Amino acid sequence: MCGIVGYIGDKNSVPILISGLKRLEYRGYDSAGISVLDSDRCSIIKSKGKVSILEKKVIEHKLNGTVGIGHTRWATHGEPNEINAHPHSNEDGTLTLIHNGIIENYSTLKKTLQKRGVTFKSETDSEVIVHLIDSFLKKGHNFFQSVRYALNSLEGTYGVAVIYSKEPDKIIVARKGSPLVIGIGDEENFIASDVNAIVAYTSQVVYLEDDEIAEIYRDRFNARTIKDIEAVKEVVELEMAADEVDKGGFEHFMLKEIMEQPESVFNAMRGRLLFEDGISKLGGLKGFEQKIADSERIIISACGTSWHAALVGEYMLEQFCEVPVEVDYASEFRYRNPIIKKTDTLIFISQSGETADTLAAMREAKRKGALVLGVCNVVGSSIARESQAGVYIHAGPEIGVASTKAFTAQLIVLALITLMVGRHKSLSLVDGQNIIREIQSLPEKIKKILSLNSEIEKIAEKFKDAKNFLYLGRGYNFPVALEGALKLKEISYIHAEGYPAAEMKHGPIALIDENMPAVFIAPKDSVYDKVISNIEEVRARKGRIIAIASENDNKIDSLVEYSIKIPDTIRMLMPILSVIPLQMLAYHIAVKRGLNVDQPRNLAKSVTVE
């Protein structure tokens, strides 16, 4: 949530800050602001709304300066407006700060500062930090020590960047639970909450760890812990290219990312399948294969779309590996004192690798001695660094807030883990080779589904004004029903619910009438006849039916209003295919409703606060 960017060097920082904020806007777009060092004070410009509004104000003010910080906000404390927008400053304007995270003891700190005569302008918890730093400066401490002392007083999470006009040669940054990265340039350095903001300027980065603080100069940086112990940092070379975070000619990032799925699915499997042995080879799990196979139980934990992927993973692992699997919402996991044994393996899934609830759940599992694996997309993310082993999904940057290609890439990785574990147990060579053949066939099958784009757009036109939707599936396709409903809710603001199709009779059928669209995921699999019975029940009550069906299924056409035909594959992989028409349907409905599909209201891409 929220985006941070900063620059120190010899160039005008303003264009760099605005460019970075535009690339970070998917992390929050309630308001935005920048602060630039200008002579003896920090010049601040803020605005409610998107970065484009801020950009116009900045151009009008002709702001210029070689040191600056910028922020795009997703509101937690205080409504989205210009006053609550970051940066926040001390009373004389010499000190400005931007902050991601939540300060849990801000109310106590605020009351203490108010008693000392400090006047607050905003409703945010973040403003407390800048006044707290200022209070230490007034006691005679230098800039670095004042920030460090202030951070030691905070409870909660933060990623902060601070500039001070009386020590204008540096930016001070720190993190605890909210990601920050330092970009290394030639006589210039950058900071960001996400490498997307700075990849156009540098390919060398340093990731800050929790409880670390750094002074960033034009030509160097110094990193320490907030307890003032030296922190040794490694410079990492990014593999990402700047053009990967552009729209590439598409109207929206979401459509681009949907259309990239033949490539992202291929990249998730590339170099990881050994057909002769009927097994997958996952370098990030090397040395842990047998321990995972010997697990008495596997627990998968995630949030949102990743949780839906986890549900599919449960079906896969139980079918082919004969091991009990539980799936937990990460947001609930650590608050119920979960029973975790050292014989358990826990898999934590997160596109960003920074999801606060998932990260906290992972740390709890590590504390209890279980084997902890991470499945994430962003190289160098917190989950990737803190897990004992793991697998990158290699989907490439996903900018659209509603996850699409990351979901299907997560399913590929879960299938590869299933294949690896299954072959270490009782899965035969022949069955392993059959799974590999089917996995390798997926990119071409996805291309066939994407060719239905115009057909799906026409269906969207018919349903764009619906008030409610039901999504129904059985077995492996029940999680797909949940994911299809989530996509529609996220970007079109139409109420939608996903259910196991058989559960429809236990309540949701009461909603069925001639105005209720019901989307059935109904490929020709082992529960096909059961789903057809459910379709008949909706049809008898005049419900409007859309079916995702097998391309050789002619029977279903007479039972539904619209059918979207997709290629067949084995059951464990069908969700990878059946979800794509639902992504496209949600996208086109939202566009036809005139909505911004990349930046849906109230949502942000990476949920880094609880």
Q: How many CB atoms lie within 10 A of CB 523?
A: 29
Catalytic residues: 2, 605
517, β-bridge pairs: 544
Of 326, 354, 399, 402, give the one whose Cα is nearest residue 579. Answer: 402
Sheet holding 181-184, edge to edge: 41-48, 31-38, 67-73, 3-8, 189-192, 181-184, 204-207, 236-237
Q: For the stretch 224-254, what's the b/e string if a residue is b when 16 or more beta carbons lie within 10 angstroms of its beta carbon?
A: bebeeeeeebeebebeeeeeebeeeeeebbb
First to last CA, the chain: 10
547, β-bridge pairs: 520, 563
User: Which segments of 83-229 does DSSP mark as H helices, in order?
Assistant: 106-115, 126-137, 143-151
Q: How many CB atoms lie within 10 A of CB 222?
A: 15
C-alpha span between 493 and 499 (Å, rounded): 19
User: What DSSP string describes 199-229?
Assistant: TTT-SEEEEPPTTEEEEE-SS-EEEEETTS-
- 3-state percent breakdown (helix, strand, coil) of the chain, nearest 5: 40, 25, 35
Which residues have C-beta within 8 Å of that of residue 87, sequence separation ≥ 6? 33, 34, 35, 42, 44, 46, 69, 71, 96, 97, 98
Helix axes 405-424, 304-321, angle to 10 degrees: 20
